[in-house]
Chains A and B, each alone.
Chain A
Amino acid sequence: MGKFFKGLCLSSLIALLLPGLAFAAGGGGVAPMVLVADTRKLDGIMAWWANMYNESHVQFTLLTVIIIPVVGVIFGLIADVVMTWIGIDLKHRELAEH
Chain B
Amino acid sequence: MDWLYILMPIAGVKIFWPGLIILGIGVGVIGGFFGMGGAWMVTPGLNILGFPMAFAIGTDIAHMAGKSLISTMRHGKFGNVDYKLGFIMLFGTVVGFEVGAQMIMWLERIGRVDLVVRWLYIALLMFITYMVFSDVAKRKKKEREALRAGKELDKLATGLEWHKTFHKIKIPPMVHLKTAGIYCSAWLPIMVSLVTGWLAGILGIGGGLIRMPSLIYIVGCPTHIAVGTDLFEVMMSGLYGAATYTYKGRTELVAALIMLVGAAIGAQVGTVATKYIKGYGIRIAFGCAVIGCAVSVALKLIPTYFPGLRDFTDYAATVVVLAVVSALAIYITVRMVQGAKREVAAKKAFLGPQAG
Rounded to whole Å, the gap between the CB of B41 and the closest CB of chain A is 11
Q: CB < 8 Å: which of B74, B204, B246 contacts A60?
A: B246
Which B residues are CB-close (under 8 A) to A22? 94, 97-98, 237, 240-241, 244
Rounded to whole Å, the gap between the CB of A45 and the closest CB of chain B is 9
Which A residues are CB-close (under 8 A) to B26? none
> At the interface with chain A, which of B150-158, B307-315, B321-329?
B150-158
Which A residues are CB-close (under 8 A) to B251? 64
Q: Which residues A69-98 have CB closer than 8 A to chain B?
A: 69, 71-73, 75-76, 78-79, 83, 86-98
Rounded to whole Å, the gap between the CB of B86 and the closest CB of chain A is 7
Complex Cα–Cα for A34 and B250 (A) = 10
When A4-B73, A11-B236, A30-B245 are in contact, do A97 and B156 touch as well, CB less than 8 Å? yes
Complex Cα–Cα for A47 and B157 (A) = 58
Q: CB < 8 Å: which of A24, A38, A60, A65 contacts B12?
A: A38
Highest count of chain A CB atoms <10 Å: which of B7, B223, B249, B279 = B249
Which A residues are CB-close (under 8 A) to B81? 4
> At the interface with chain A, which of B185-193, B256-264, B288-296?
B256-264
Which B residues are CB-close (under 8 A) to A50? 9-10
Which A residues are CB-close (under 8 A) to B74? 76, 79, 90
Q: Residue-by-residue, is B229-260 near A (CB-CB < 8 Å gives 1, otherwise 0)? A: 00010101111111111111111011011001
Main secondary structure of the interface of B (DSSP, over half): helix
When A49-B9, A71-B257, A98-B155 are in contact, do A15 and B77 touch as well, CB less than 8 Å? no
Complex Cα–Cα for A25 and B62 (A) = 10
B280 in contact (CB, < 8 A): yes
When A64-B242, A91-B78 are in contact, do A76 and B94 touch as well, CB less than 8 Å? no
| Interface residue range, chain A | 35 or more
| Interface residue range, chain B | 35 or more
Is A27 a contact of B264 with CB atoms below 8 Å?
Answer: no
Complex Cα–Cα for A78 and B243 (A) = 26
Complex Cα–Cα for A7 and B104 (A) = 32
Q: Which residues A16-38 have CB closer than 8 A to chain B?
A: 18, 21-30, 33-35, 37-38
Complex Cα–Cα for A21 and B265 (A) = 33
Nearest B residue (CB) for A40? B12
Q: CB < 8 Å: which of B39, B239, B280 contacts A12?
A: B239
B300 in contact (CB, < 8 A): no
B115 in contact (CB, < 8 A): no
Q: Residue-by-residue, is B322-356 near A (CB-CB < 8 Å gives 1, otherwise 0)? A: 00000000000000000010011001000000000
B54 in contact (CB, < 8 A): yes
Is B239 a contact of A93 with CB atoms below 8 Å?
Answer: no
Which B residues are CB-close (under 8 A) to A1? 73, 76-77
Q: Residue-by-residue, is B1-29 near A (CB-CB < 8 Å gives 1, otherwise 0)? A: 00000010110100000000000000000
Complex Cα–Cα for A18 and B76 (A) = 25
Is A57 a contact of B9 with CB atoms below 8 Å?
Answer: no
Chain B residues within 8 Å of A, Cβ to Cβ: 7, 9-10, 12, 37, 39, 54, 57-58, 60-67, 69-70, 72-74, 76-81, 83, 86-87, 90-91, 94-95, 97-98, 101, 104-105, 155-158, 200-201, 204-207, 222-224, 232, 234, 236-251, 253-254, 256-257, 260-261, 264-265, 268, 272, 274-280, 340, 343-344, 347
Q: Which 6 A-B pairs have the closest CB atoms?
A: A24-B241, A25-B206, A75-B264, A26-B39, A72-B66, A28-B204
Known: A12-B236, A69-B65, A69-B66. 16 other contacts (CB 8 A): A1-B73, A4-B73, A11-B90, A14-B236, A15-B236, A18-B94, A21-B94, A24-B58, A26-B37, A27-B101, A28-B204, A30-B248, A60-B249, A67-B253, A72-B69, A73-B70
Chain A residues within 8 Å of B, Cβ to Cβ: 1, 3-4, 7-8, 10-12, 14-15, 18, 21-30, 33-35, 37-39, 41-42, 46-47, 49-50, 53, 57-58, 60-61, 64-65, 67-69, 71-73, 75-76, 78-79, 83, 86-98
The 12 sampled A-B contact pairs (Cβ below 8 Å) are A14-B91, A22-B97, A26-B57, A29-B105, A41-B12, A68-B253, A73-B70, A76-B264, A79-B70, A96-B156, A97-B155, A98-B158
